[in-house]
Amino acid sequence: MPNAAQLVTIEVTVNGEKYRRQVEPRMLLVEFIREELDLTGTHIGCDTSYCGACTVQLNGSPVKSCTLLAVQADGGEILTVEGLEKDGQLHPLQKSFSEHHGLQCGYCTPGMLMSAHALLEQNPQADRKAIRKALAGNVCRCTGYQNILKAVEAVVNETKGGQ
């Protein structure tokens, strides 16, 4: 354990809650989320930034949390997959992934959800091409992607129908 002089104090808002912690300067954001905050929905998949399982939103943009240091998020707002659920109700994307069989083993699901959520926040009318592009940084080894695309499209169509 490093001595206190080697630690850096950071403040972040995660899923609407403020946190202040002392961390090692080299601690990855994904490690901070999982180990310091005990939010284990964000997965560590490849350790190379290839798979996207660690995707969270930082200040509204999807980022691979294995590529950022926790200190780089200082002062930022982070949304993790746990933050999608509100008042005990799953987010429409979470429901749609279940209803459209957009997950199998579930390992990629948090990253897929966070990337899709960021897209739909920016472009609620996204077409299949935009959805594919938004999810391109996420790898799924089980589903073949078709049901993931259907799940996101269903949320888009539900939004269109509700207008």
Look up the domain containing 137 and give its range: 85-161
- Per-residue pLDDT of 10-66, as tens digits, reads 999 999 999 999 999 999 999 999 999 999 999 998 878 899 999 999 999 999 999
Q: Does residue 75 sit in the same domain as residue 99?
A: no
H or E stretch covering 118 = helix 109-122
H or E stretch covering 114 = helix 109-122
- Per-residue pLDDT of 65-83, as tens digits, reads 999 999 999 999 999 999 9
Q: Does residue 78 sit in the same domain as residue 95?
A: no
What's the total number of domains in the chain?
2
Q: CATH number of the domain at 60, please.
A: 3.10.20.30
Q: CATH number of the domain at 120, please.
A: 1.10.150.120
Q: Does residue 139 sit in the same domain as residue 89?
A: yes
Q: Does residue 78 sit in the same domain as residue 98?
A: no
Q: Does residue 74 sit in the same domain as residue 29?
A: yes
Boundary residue ending a domain (62, 83, 104): 83
Q: Does residue 50 sit in the same domain as residue 38?
A: yes
Query: What is the CA angle 59-157-137, rounded to 5?
Result: 45
H or E stretch covering 149 = helix 146-161
This prediction's pTM: 0.92
Q: Does residue 104 sit in the same domain as residue 134?
A: yes
93-104 as b/e: b if 16+ CB within 10 A: bbebbeebebbe
Boundary residue ending a domain (60, 83, 106): 83
